Structure 1
């Protein structure tokens, strides 16, 4: 497993727009289509990464806990499917179904969206406020496969709580760690 950290783009960055196909519905979605009234979380994930598999259950719990509070969610996979066919659209559909995704799982075939977000690893998390400004980027929590720390989602949950309640979010944020995005 590679241990690639997030690039940690500047807080305050406006969410880069996208228009990508959802592997669940075959509809296409923009950032605006996915955004929530209070904020939006963009996940860069893939189907096979052990870091993603390690946190997927908590990721789904976070979605279920906060979507009813005005937070929108969208997952994006940008991996090169020639070298990593297990991350192709058909497999994404199956992965989303098996993990009860009730949010879009978009395929970034050109990898332009990952470049616009400066996504570096899977999972990579971005939280935008109601003005589409980046207020959090980085890790879900301190847990990693085989480090013995329980998955809690504490860092991401704390940031989302800040957006939902309108309070400040600690600008000291830790990068996510995961497998590198598989570039073409």
Structure 2
């Protein structure tokens, strides 16, 4: 595991479009099909990373709390499954079932979507407004494995609440910290 901090993607960046397979429903979905009316949260996650495992239950709570308010949630795994077989689609399906994901869990086999979003770690969170413009990129909250801070989803929740209430998005956006995305050798 290599501890990695998310890259800085300029706010206002338009969400790159994509079409990927959802391992839970075995359907191909585009960003336009999955986007939310109020905004869209794209989460780069995987199955094996201890940082993702640490926040998995809160990701599900967050999606359940805000999906009904008009937000779309999309999880994407981009890891090299040859070197990390626990991240292959069959295992993604098992994790989605175990945690009762109510959002699509997409497999980025070519890793192009991760590159398009400049995602470098798991978990890595991107919040886009109703026009698919980036308004937040960073951590879920201040909790990390073994740091004793409860997992609350505070950073993302504050952003989504600001969108819902037409308030200014919090200026402080701390980068996400986690495992590096496992890139294929080129």
Deviation at 1:11, TM superposition (A): 0.4
Correspondence 1:5 to 2:9: no
**Preserved contact between residue 158 and residue 170 of structure 2 (Cα < 8 Å):** no
Separation of aligned partners in 1, 2:11 and 2:142: 21
Query: Cα deviations across residues 55-87 of structure 1 (Å, max 9, x unaligned)?
Result: 001111000000010000010000000000000
Q: Secondary structure at the match of 1:20?
A: strand
Equivalent positions of 1:34-113 (< 5 A) are 34-113=34-113
Aligned pairs for 1:87-166 (under 5 A) are 87-166=87-166
The CA distance in 1 between the partners of 2:15 and 2:99, in whole Å, is 26
RMSD over aligned CA atoms reads: 0.7
SS in 2 for 1:28: strand
The aligned counterpart of 1:27 is: 27
Distance in 2 between residues matched to 1:44 and 1:163, nearest whole Å: 21
Q: How many residues are aligned here?
A: 184
Alpha-carbon distance between aligned partners in 1 of 2:120 and 2:164, rounded to the nearest angstrom: 27
Instruction: Give distance in 2, aligned partners of 1:45 and 1:133.
Output: 21
Cα pair 1:70 1:164 within 8 Å, conserved: no
* 8 A contact 1:128–1:136 mirrored in 2: yes
Q: Secondary structure at the match of 2:136?
A: strand
* Deviation of the 1:172 alpha carbon: 2.2
User: Which residue matches 1:174?
Assistant: 174
- Return the offset for 1:171: 2.6
**Separation in 2 of the partners of 1:171 and 1:135?**
10
Paired residues of 2:124 and 2:176 also in contact (CA < 8 A): yes
How many angstroms apart in 1 are the aligned matches of 2:6 and 2:157?
Answer: 18
